[in-house]
Structure 1
Amino acid sequence: MDELIELGRDDMDPSRRGVLGASLFSVALTVPHWQDVVGRAVALEKGTTHRIGMADVDMVTAMTERISDLDDEFGGRYARPMGSNFLVNVVAPALRTDGAESVRDAMRSAAADLCYLIGYMAVDEGLHGTAQRYYLKALELAGAANDHLTYCTTLRGMSVQAVDLRHSREAVRLADAAAAAAPQAGPRMRAFLAGQQAHAAAQAGDTSAAKRFIRDAETAMERAESRGKALGSYDPSSLHYHVSQVRWELGDTAGAVEAMVLSDRTRHSVYQRSRVHRRGLLAERQLHLGHLEAACETWRLALEDYPKVKSGRADERMRRIFTLLRPHLKNSTARDLYEYAHAVVPERLRVQHG
């Protein structure tokens, strides 16, 4: 696993090599039962574990989930260095340690999940080359572990990245490959995959495919919700977001705003990082419709959360406020919001536009 170690080392600040215990572990210790998790991680880091078991796999899974929670709440700029350190110091040594083949496969699968997560956070920072390297490593590890779920999730993540970069044909190819890799997907997973297929197809200009896939996603989500409480990150809010993106790409700005408002209302209290980004996007589209005061109110809500997150996507949305509002400064609401943004957004971002 020397290649995996090199990837993680390239991605992290060398000055952080020795701070694994002082960063992630100090946060994790606030959670009950994390003493055991931390103990196993430290043993792997020090090389005192000579054979891994499922408890070690559970430790890696638990740590990855904790890093993901921190990313959702505070952004990848906080969480990604922790993930890179954990990958280099704990996960890579675990992959080299002896164990039953079933355990080793489970560890490869857990490592694939972590690589996918770090890649996802790198996309958020605009580090697209780094993200692709992590995604490819996640595919390699998932394939070795025969882990179809992580394999197709990673392909979908690569499609999301391609959509963000407006590489539409590649986004379609990757989204379709993700769906093909999960033929036995349950309804929530099907919605997760079809929503991205719809967004990619809409951006590529394939209206009929986009509408077909978004109907598939809506039908699958209805079945998933009928089975009880939502599990996983794809929920009705995420589906409304995809509906909004499809409508936007197909030229229906009013419909895009309507769906994004529903998305925001459905998930108003969680996923702080995504909330800032999506509210910024919603405000831009409200302004595009000529709804200046509604846009200002949405931007104000985004700006209230913005100082609490460290996210490249959030930065990009907030920096655009200055350019977009400048033509409207004779309006008192717009002027007040502009001044508020000037006080909240760091100078390094607003100096280019403000």
Structure 2
Amino acid sequence: MARPVTNAAFEGLLLAAGYANSHAAFARQLNHAGRNEGAWRYDAASVYWWLRGRRPGEHVQAAMAETLARKLGRSVAIAELGFGAGDSIGMCVYPATVDGAIDTAEQIWTRLAKRFNQQDSGAFDTGKALEAALGWRYDLPDKALNRNGRQQVTSTDVQSLYALADHFTDLDRRHGSGSPRTRAVMADFLVRQVAPMLHGSYTDAVGRDLMRAAATLSGQLAFMSYDAGEHVMAQHHVTLGLRLAKTADDRLYGAHLLANLATQAVFLGHGREAARLIEAAIDGAGSAPAAVLARLHATAATAYGQSGERRACQLALTRAERALDRAGLDPGPRWVGYFSPAHLAGAALRCLGDLHLYTQALRHAPEALTLDSQNTRTRALHTALVAMTYARAGDTDAACDWTSKIGQHAAGIQSARVRQRVRELAATLSSQQTSPQVKEVFHILAAMPAAI
């Protein structure tokens, strides 16, 4: 059954211009009008989705207005098209086409670059997250990606994007993503440099590598937004990253991004939905390298732990441990190199604690802190998690000892996730706040930069 039209204004203009029953003809004329922007490949399916709420980029809307104006014999304002204000993204939707993905990229990068000093609004949409997972997993692969645009893109150009992604990843792990300026600088670069590359000229091989690099940058920006508490923007970017990874035919990185989306869902308390997301990621990854499987199964364990599925949680942990044991012989892509025994121990600490298996959980505490020096934020998160697990287990003395160590790890970090974990820890200790030791650690927490 076809979805109902939601953009009545656009539908009325198509009817008046004689395109009501000829969406393919309109798409052909639109491609011709936008020929200076590159090799557009819009078709009847594109028109279908525009009528049902998908919003094309401003440059595409300008070409639409031009195309309709020629047929109607009058000027057509972009506002008449019914796509809403220029800085409105709307609900996060998995783009149906490559051109839709490129347009979406330009829209949300521009939006973030313009609004870095504004507060995120809206809520994480589990339904849209699951739709994105299904689209990534089951949509057909994209055909040839070669394009003819105004800017020639080479393999060397694409490699520079990977270097930039590595730089922002390192900054994120060391200092957190709480500063809006860092994300705005990255978004501005994406608007000024990467978006024109996506509209440029490239071969199929370079195009797929370009899409992979753009997915990597979008995925990093998604994770930074998530760490900063910008959950709607994070969902927009990870959904875009999924679509770009699909275009690049990189199922492993797509599975990694879907695992990040599941991690965000766990953070927000959507354990059951997170489990479905990570199941899709594991299914889509197929016979992946051991290091990738270790990361995916560890994420599955956290989702099952939060949703109270004890058996599934413990099975996922076992699978993650076995996969990580093989990772030295089967390391996988370079982007998964961060995942270490300490990260798996942190996941075990989290999910077993959620299942109230505190004794089992705390066995993983020492290894959870054997992190490389650049993982500053993860060290702060794991330290707070150890303290909280001791508090929930009823060992207030140990909880206070570990709480007193958080400050040295959280110094200089801007992270909404660290702040949230500190709040959870304080809430867990609040029932014992008459204790002198608890009072003392409350003063420590209150003095932290990442404090309540």
Q: Same fold (TM over 0.5)?
A: yes
* 1:329 CA drift (Å): 4.7
**In structure 2, what is the equivalent of residue 289 of structure 1?**
393
Shift of 1:322: 4.6
1:51 is matched by which residue type in structure 2? Answer: Q
| Cα distance between partner residues in 2 of 1:94 and 1:107 | 8
Aligned residue runs from structure 1 range 105-116, under 5 A: 105-116=208-219
Q: Amino acid of the residue matched to residue 106 of structure 2?
A: I
Q: CA deviation at 1:152?
A: 0.8
Mean Cα deviation higher: 6-15 or 147-156: 6-15
* SS of the residue 2:249 aligns to: coil
Contact 1:67 1:82 in 2 (8 A): no
**1:254 and 2:359 aligned:** yes
Kindly state the Cα deviation for residue 294 of structure 1 after the two structures are TM-superposed.
2.1
Task: Show CA shifts across 1:3-62 (max 9, x none).
Answer: 21220122235589xxxxxxxxxxxxxxxxxxxxxxxxxxxxxxxx83111111111000
Which is further off, 271-280 or 224-233? 224-233
Identity %: 26
Q: Deviations over 1:72-92 (max 9, x none)?
A: 000112343332222222211
TM-fit CA distance, 1:203? 2.5
The whole-number CA distance in structure 2 between the counterparts of 1:240 and 1:197 is 14
Aligned twin of 1:20 = none
Counterpart of 2:192 in structure 1: which amino acid?
A: N
The aligned counterpart of 1:92 is: 195
Of the three residues 321, 328, 336, the one matched with 2:440 is 336
Q: Which moved more, 1:191-200 or 1:58-67?
A: 191-200
Say whether residues 1:245 and 2:346 are aligned partners. Answer: no
The aligned counterpart of 2:45 is none
Moved more, 122-131 or 197-206: 197-206
Q: Which residue is equivalent to 2:373?
A: 269
The size of the alignment, in residue pairs, is 315
CA shift for structure 1 position 324 = 4.3
| CA distance 1:227–1:8, shift in 2 (3 Å) | closer
- In the alignment, what sits opposite 1:73? 174
Q: CA deviation at 1:206?
A: 2.6
**Is 1:234 aligned with 2:335?**
no
Task: Return the offset for 1:328.
Answer: 3.8
Rg larger in 1 or in 2? 2
Q: Which structure 1 segments of 5+ residues have no match?
A: 17-48
Whole-angstrom distance in 1 between the partners of 2:260 and 2:296: 10
- Whether 2:286 is the aligned partner of 1:183: answer yes
| Aligned equivalents of 1:107, 1:294: Cα separation in 2 | 50
Counterpart AA for 2:366? V
Deviates more, 1:196-205 or 1:178-187: 196-205
Deviation (angstroms), 1:323: 4.2
1:53 aligns with 154
TM-score by length of structure 2 reads: 0.65
> 2:383 pairs with 269, 279, 283, which one?
279
Residue matched to 1:315? 419
Per-residue CA distance 1:163-184 (angstroms, 9 max, x = gap): 1222222111111111111112
Query: Is the 1:321–1:338 contact (alpha carbons within 8 Å) kept by the matching residues of 2?
Result: no
The residue that corresponds to 2:324 in the other structure is: 221
1:170 aligns with 2:273: yes
Instruction: Give, in whole Å, the separation in 2 of the partners of 1:274 and 1:56.
Output: 32
The CA deviation string for residues 270-299 of structure 1, in whole angstroms up to 9 with x for no partner, is 311122122112211111223223222222
Amino acid at match of 1:64: A
Residues 1:131 and 2:229 aligned together: no
Question: Using a 3 Å threshold, how does the CA distance of structure 1 residues 157 and 344 change in structure 2: closer, same or farther?
Answer: closer
The answer to whether residue 296 in structure 2 is matched with residue 193 in structure 1 is yes
Q: Distance in 1 between matches of 2:329 and 2:340?
A: 12
Looking at structure 2, the residues matched to 84 and 211 of structure 1 have their Cα atoms a distance apart, in angstroms, of: 40
For 1:224 and 1:5, how far apart are their aligned partners in 2?
Answer: 37
Which residue of 86, 110, 113 corresponds with 1:9? 110
Please give the alpha-carbon distance, in whole angstroms, between the structure 2 residues aligned to 1:215 and 1:320.
Answer: 28
Give, in whole Å, the separation in 1 of the partners of 2:315 and 2:432. Answer: 39
Deviation string 1:201-257 (CA, Å, 9 cap, x unpaired) is 233333222222211111111111467999611111111112222312322012222
Over 3 Å counting, the alpha-carbon distance change for 1:312 and 1:143 in structure 2 is same
Change in Cα spacing, 1:242 to 1:329, as seen in structure 2 (3 Å) is closer
Cα distance in structure 2, aligned partners of 1:119 and 1:323:
28
Does the CA contact (< 8 Å) of 1:191 and 1:216 recur in 2?
Answer: yes
Aligned to 1:155: 258
| Equivalent residues of 2:222, 2:238 under 8 A apart | yes
2:206 equivalent in structure 1: 103
> Which has more helix, going by share of residues?
1
For residues 374 and 178 of structure 2, the distance between their equivalents in structure 1, rounded to whole angstroms, comes to 18
Q: Retained in 1: the 8 A contact 2:342–2:367?
A: yes
CA gap of 1:146–1:11, structure 2 versus 1, over 3 A, is same
Kept in 1, the 8 Å contact 2:218–2:240? The answer is: yes
Corresponding residue number in structure 2 for 1:208: 311
Letter in 2 for 1:243: A
**Equivalent position of 2:164 in the other structure:** 63
Q: 2:406: which partner in 1? A: 302
Change (3 A) 1:336 1:207: closer
* Greater Cα shift, 281-290 or 317-326: 317-326
Structure 2 counterpart of 1:311, which letter? S
